[in-house]
Amino acid sequence: MYIDDSLMSYEESLVFSLRALYRSKGYKRYKMSKFEPYDLYATNKEFLISDNVISFTDTNGKLMALKPDVTLSLVRNCRFNPDELAKICYDENVYRVSQGTGAFKELMQSGIECLGAVDQQCVIDVLLLAASSLACISSDNKLIVTYLDLVSSIVESWNLPSVDQQAIYGFIARKNYHELERLCASCDIPSDEVSDLLSLLNYDGFTADLPAWLEA
């Protein structure tokens, strides 16, 4: 069946382009419900961008929520063999608080998930697909990849108590580097090692200078 592209908005055309890209790479589309049991999000708040979730009471008295995230819903409902690789794509509406207005907003989210036997080749393929996805949106794009093992190797080498390690990771997640430096100073971490960590955290791949130990 032929569909005239001029009848679609830019967003609709983009969704179809991404869906076609993912399907061409072996991803199967998964359709989800608009809402899930509220407990799913209440018990997994650390995975959410915001604690604010739209909830309502169903006719059977069960507390439900409009989904603010696709991944949690997908993992909960998708049946897959953990010994095999399941490649799934989706385009779903999610409901989140707008950073600009502070009000709830309906947003379209397109993406992929790999579940089960994920190996190094799968990770490489996903990175390449991320680059292709950005190219569908605009030729002027930048793909930023983070590798937390570098940060973890530094923090774990300090042999700090678990509570202090978790506090440091919390400061890193919130980009609260002032408190991170304060905590490191109270734990007698050498200032040059803290400086190396901050240089790594602020490295953007283009303008910042890498620490000498990382260049090696």
Q: At 80, which CATH number?
A: 3.30.930.10
152 and 59 part of one domain:
no
48 and 129 part of one domain:
yes
Specify whether the CB–CB gap between 83 and 117 falls below 8 A: yes
Domain end among 74, 103, 137: 137
115 and 156 part of one domain:
no
Whole-angstrom distance, CA of residue 180 vs CA of residue 172: 7
Q: What's the pLDDT tens digit per position in 60-71?
A: 999 999 999 898
113 and 170 part of one domain:
no
pLDDT at residue 205, as a whole number:
58
83 and 165 part of one domain:
no
131 and 111 part of one domain:
yes
Residue 109's beta-bridge partner residues?
92
Please name the amino acid found at residue 208.
A
Residue 45 belongs to a domain: yes
Name the domain count of the chain: 2
pLDDT at residue 144, as a whole number:
80
pLDDT at residue 213, as a whole number:
41
110 and 191 part of one domain:
no
Closest residue by Cα to residue 12 from 94, 100, 95, 93: 93
Three-state DSSP at 200 gives helix
pLDDT at residue 50, as a whole number:
75
184 and 127 part of one domain:
no
CA quadruple 9, 14, 15, 21: dihedral positive or negative?
Answer: positive
Please report how many Cα atoms fall inside a 13 Å half-sphere around the Cα of residue 41, on the Cβ side: 25
Q: What's the pLDDT tens digit per position in 139-166?
A: 998 888 777 788 888 999 999 999 999 8
Question: Taking the CB of residue 89, how many other CB atoms lie within 10 A of it?
Answer: 20
192 and 104 part of one domain:
no
Whole-angstrom distance, CA of residue 126 vs CA of residue 25: 10
Residue 215 belongs to a domain: no
pLDDT at residue 27, as a whole number:
96
25 and 68 part of one domain:
yes
pLDDT at residue 3, as a whole number:
60
In Å, what is the CA distance from 173 to each residue of 2, 137, 156, 165? 47, 28, 16, 12
Residue 216 belongs to a domain: no
- Residues in the chain, pLDDT under 50: 1, 206-216
Residue 115's beta-bridge partner residues?
86
Domain of 182?
148-210
Residue 206 belongs to a domain: yes
97 and 24 part of one domain:
yes
